[in-house]
Amino acid sequence: MTTSPLANLSATRELLDEFGLATKHRLGQNFLIDNHVIEHICQLAELDGTERVLEVGPGIGTLTLALVQEAARVVSIEMDATLEPVLDAHAADHDNFRYIMGDALKVSPALIAGAAGGEPEVFVANLPYNVAATIILQYFETMPSLRRAVVMVQKEVADRIAACPGTKAFGAYTVKLSLYGTVTGRFEVPPRCFMPAPHVDSAVVRIDRCRPAEGGDGSSGASLDPRAVGRVVDAAFAQRRKTIRNSMGANGFDKRALDAAFESAGIAPTARAETLSVEDFIRLARALESLAGREVDA
């Protein structure tokens, strides 16, 4: 089992004291202090020692020190400048670890690939909860080399990621992420696993990449641009209380074209967005694209 030397209360406190962070740290990070959680994350990640791993929000490096034991190379992105001396010390101790200081949403894939010695293949992170959902989707969109992600997020975000049609948590984000990946694992992480204990529950989810526009089952082909599906999804969920026809019609889509697309895709125009499956949205986007192509040809 892979463990981290920092995944306990005493080691975390000692490191914070050593670097003067115990009293100076002001960003409210919650440090992971449970090795069982580290072990479970590494099990889900299924690293075999050949992968280039990307991490966001390493903090003091608790998860990082486990990942460097399992991966060929680990590159972490950290925004908090006060943590750079800690990460620098880890980099000095581990030849296969590099870090980038900056905003994870602004660091370019090219810079990440340069630090990793190639494009990253696995994304493993205890993510900053306020931007976790955005980071996950953006990385799957912009880094096609990522085969899977194992990420810790707030429980409500995990619920959105794994939601099923017809449930309250199912929304535009669920559909758009499903165009790139399928949830293949999950476990809960209670507040007692952190120091200090947060006021929210956490969960770790594993997401495995599927080909774009498949929706996870491989039946819809890969030629449709996920961004085209995303535009349909955003318009459909823009006004959740309205029917999908009225919501999309009020958000940039011609209602006559919609009626023809609904009929072609076998979708009731009176349905609401949260009742449709990912595959329904793919069929609808494909039908709209086909209709637009016919108009151009005409």
- Spell out a b/e string for 75-86, using b for 16 or more CB atoms within 10 Å of the CB, else e: bbbbbbeebeeb
User: Between the CA of residue 65 and those of 3, 6, 95, 159, 210, what are the distances in Å?
Assistant: 8, 8, 12, 28, 29
Other CB atoms within 10 A of residue 208 CB: 15
Omega prior to 85 cis, within 30 of 0: no
Residue 156 has which token pair? 């409500």
**Alpha helix segments (H runs only) across 19-72:** 35-45, 64-70
Q: Are 151 and 205 in contact (CB under 8 A)?
A: yes
- Max Cα-Cα span within the chain: 72
Q: Which residue has the tokens 């984000």?
A: 173
155 three-state secondary structure: helix
Other CB atoms within 10 A of residue 193 CB: 21
* pLDDT per position as a tens digit, 143-177: 999 999 999 999 999 999 999 999 999 999 999 99
Q: Are 82 and 21 in contact (CB under 8 A)?
A: yes
User: Between the CA of residue 234 and those of 144, 145, 175, 176, what are the distances in Å?
Assistant: 22, 26, 10, 9
Q: What is the pLDDT of residue 216?
A: 44
Return the top range by mean pLDDT from 109-118, 222-231, 286-295.
109-118
Q: What is the pLDDT of residue 221?
A: 44
Residue 52 has which token pair? 């280039």
pLDDT of 222 higher than 50: no
pLDDT band at 219, cuts 50/70/90? very low
